[in-house]
Amino acid sequence: MKARRPTPLAKIELLVLDVDGVLTDGSLYFGARGEVLKVFHVQDGHGIKLLQASGVAVAVISGRRSPAVTRRMRELGLRHVVQGCADKAAALASIGAKLGVAPTSAACLVDDTPDLPLMASVGFAAAVADAHPIVRAAAHWVAAANGGRGAVRELCDAILRARAGRR
């Protein structure tokens, strides 16, 4: 990924989140019947709600499919949830077109190398603290918190602070 100047956080209109390793700690728990269990951090959810209330759209794009993700995102009121996605940059373009948001006005928070094309497509690319080293190096910003441990809330708070300072 080429070094480029990030879009200021105050100008972000859409935040795109990965799931495994970002909204969760990346662990996959399999129950006796084969169901996958995921653990979400409640403060991340509150940060998402605060960001939405401020007028910033939030979307989730995941390479995996999970009923747990469907349920949690419904609880958070997210309307833009794409699961089983092989091309996250294309999904971003589709969501952005629906919302009238240019990719340069979008931010993403990710954790692993399959997310590098998405990072290159947004105006502000962020990584969780325990992201792959290549992802951290490509990011404009790296959270102090690990995935599933408050990194989403940290970025939401940073965007909210920037937007408050913009007024």
- Going by pLDDT thresholds of 50, 70 and 90, the confidence category of residue 29 is confident
Tokens of 59: 């979307």
What was the pLDDT predicted at 166? 61
Residue 19's nearest CA partner among 115, 117, 122 is 115
106-131 residues labelled b (16+ CB within 10 A) or e (exposed): bbbbbbbeebbebbebbbbbbbbbbb
pTM over 0.85: yes
Q: Are 142 and 110 in contact (CB under 8 A)?
A: no
The amino acid that residue 119 corresponds to is M
Q: What residue ranges define each of the domains in the chain, with the CATH number in brackets?
A: 9-100+126-166 (3.40.50.1000)
Share of the chain above pLDDT 70, in %: 97
Query: What average pLDDT does this structure show over 90-99?
Result: 97
- Going by pLDDT thresholds of 50, 70 and 90, the confidence category of residue 158 is very high
What was the pLDDT predicted at 56? 98
Q: Angle formed by the axes of helices 151-166 and 42-53, to 10°?
A: 20
Question: For residue range 43-85, what is the model confidence (pLDDT) as tens digits?
Answer: 999 999 999 999 999 999 999 999 999 999 999 999 999 999 9
Listed as own residue / partner, the contacts of 3-8 with beta carbons closer than 8 Å and 24 or more positions apart are 6/123, 6/124, 6/125, 6/140, 6/141, 7/104, 7/105, 7/107, 7/122, 7/123, 7/124, 8/162
Q: Are 155 and 140 in contact (CB under 8 A)?
A: no
What was the pLDDT predicted at 28? 86
The count of other CB atoms within 10 Å of the CB of residue 145 is: 19
Tokens of 78: 């997210």
Q: What span, in angstroms and rounded, lies between the C-alpha atoms of 7 and 47?
A: 20
